[in-house]
Structure 1
Amino acid sequence: MAVILPLLLAVLAALTGPVLAHGGLANYTVGETWYRGFDPNSPASEQDGQPWMVQRRWDSIDPIFSVDDKYLACNKPGTPPTSVIPIQAGEDINAIYYYWLHPVGPMTAWLAWCGEAGDCNGVDVNAVEWFKIWEAGLIEGPNLAEGVWYQKRFQKWDGTPDVWPVTIPASLRPGAYMIRHEILSIHVENKPQFYPQCAHLNISGTGTAFPPKEFMKKFPGGYAADDPSININIYSPKFDHTANYTIPGGPIWEG
């Protein structure tokens, strides 16, 4: 069931209390239809089990700091939703953030097939295999610290939502999937901050393609703690003339 979350209330919430620290994925849109995600600033009792909930529950805007954290896949506690987002392969799904304050680091989007059962509710998010379908990082120099990242371009300060569009590969075979959006903020020296959220999809279409094993990752397990793109000090003099950044997690599967 589509639900529009009033923008005014979301913006007011964004300006109060500890919310100023970070941010998170609030809603999704497909075409003109809006789907509501979990709001950690509202009582869970008013959201759990609701027929409109399409997103796995996440209880805090605080980041995940470790690549080995079991909640790296879909945030904490990751409780399954009640509903799903219907979408056709080849369509865009837009992730809606009502505020995002960090400007530095990559953004990635992932899918995981939930198997022949056709239902993602019983899937172990740590055991399922994820494949990357979208990424964006450093757009232009002069270096990592002073350059323009997609994460900064994604921000809006005019009162309108921050919108992150991702296209479902047109050739993907239909089925039940989870989509995982992750923002990795690297603005603090050697202290990466992961912000993942997951929603359930019912992908339709006539495609037959599916990524091979080399594209698959598990979370945790998909990142290494010593990955120089994750454990990084972007302010180090060695990056003063570096405008190249490798987004972690391997290549995109484009279908």
Structure 2
Amino acid sequence: MKFLNGLLLAAAAVEAHYTFPRLVVNGKAEDKDWSVTRQTKNAQSKSGIENPNSADIRCYSSTTAPNIATVPAGSTINYISTQQINHPGPTQYMLARVPAGSSAKSWDGSGSVWWKIATTMPYYDNNKQLVWPAQNTYATHPAVIPASTPNGEYLLRVEQIALHMASQPNKAQFYLSCSQINITNGGNLEPGPNMKVALPGAYRSNDPGIQVNIYNLQPDSYQPPGPPVWQG
């Protein structure tokens, strides 16, 4: 009986975790898992990252993807989740422009090159429970690639930060993926250096949006970690 209970607990733990293997652009998902999205190290375990200073916080990838998705500027994007996103916490999106002479198929995203294009904030549901947009669904909350983003190849990063145990140090869990994209029909604006960050480097384990007691939190007081959102 103890063995059976252990198996059930292990299964429940895996079920509570998730990965984001498919990018969705204007409602159309990539053809198969990990086609333009880099396969993450937790593809099987589904476990999140607890150390925001780990090199895995950038893309958590074990390999690059074979393809690059064409994404017109102004497109709505999100990700399909392998399990229900049942842990409370924000969803954030970042971009990093691939340097000239490099390819999204091989570039590692190093340096202060990442900027944030979207984040989500909590709200009270009808039962006065604190929830985040798209919580308890099978897809991340959507975002828009700013229409003014220049043409070119990029890494697109999504993360959902699970905060159900985040009142304890290093117990927030980061679930994330990076996709290889080529932005077309874009503009000619780009955020300045003060809005770009390195990963790792952008987060500290005691940032108020990472170590936080969400069970004693007013929705508008939450402080998302990382740089401010670039509107374009």
**Map of 2:39 onto structure 1:** 57
Superposition pairs of residues 119-138 of structure 1, within 5 angstroms? 119-127=103-111, 129-138=113-122
Counterpart among 31, 34, 52 of residue 29 in structure 2:
34
Q: Distance in 2 between matches of 1:89 and 1:101?
A: 27
**CA separation of 1:193/1:241 partners in 2, compared to 1, >3 Å: closer, same or farther?**
closer
Q: Is the 8 A contact 2:134 2:141 kept in 1?
A: no
Q: Distance in 1 between matches of 2:229 and 2:156?
A: 14
Q: Distance in 1 between matches of 2:123 and 2:178?
A: 25
Q: Which runs of 5+ in 2 are unaligned?
A: 1-10
Q: Is the 8 A contact 1:114 1:128 kept in 2?
A: no
Q: Is the 8 A contact 2:157 2:176 kept in 1?
A: yes
Q: Does 1:24 align with 2:8?
A: no
- Secondary structure in 2 aligned to 1:164? coil
**CA separation of 1:32/1:22 partners in 2, compared to 1, >3 Å: closer, same or farther?**
closer
Deviations 1:8-62 (A, max 9, x none): xxxxxxxx78641301113222235431333xxxxxxxxxxxxxx2111213111
Moved over 4 A (4+): 240-243
**CA separation of 1:176/1:111 partners in 2, compared to 1, >3 Å: closer, same or farther?**
same
**CA separation of 1:243/1:210 partners in 2, compared to 1, >3 Å: closer, same or farther?**
closer
**Which shifted more, 193-202 or 118-127?**
118-127
Q: Which runs of 5+ in 1 are unaligned?
A: 1-15, 39-52
- The sequence identity of aligned pairs, in percent, is 27
Q: Is the 8 A contact 1:137 1:150 kept in 2?
A: yes
**Map of 1:71 onto structure 2:** 56
- Tell me how many residue pairs correspond in the alignment: 214
Q: Distance in 1 between matches of 2:22 and 2:174?
A: 19
Counterpart among 221, 226, 232 of residue 249 in structure 1:
226
AA aligned opposite 2:129: E
C-alpha RMSD of matched pairs (Å): 2.4
TM-score where L is the length of structure 2: 0.83
Superposition pairs of residues 213-252 of structure 1, within 5 angstroms? 213-235=193-215, 239=216, 244-252=221-229
Q: Is the 8 A contact 1:102 1:151 kept in 2?
A: no
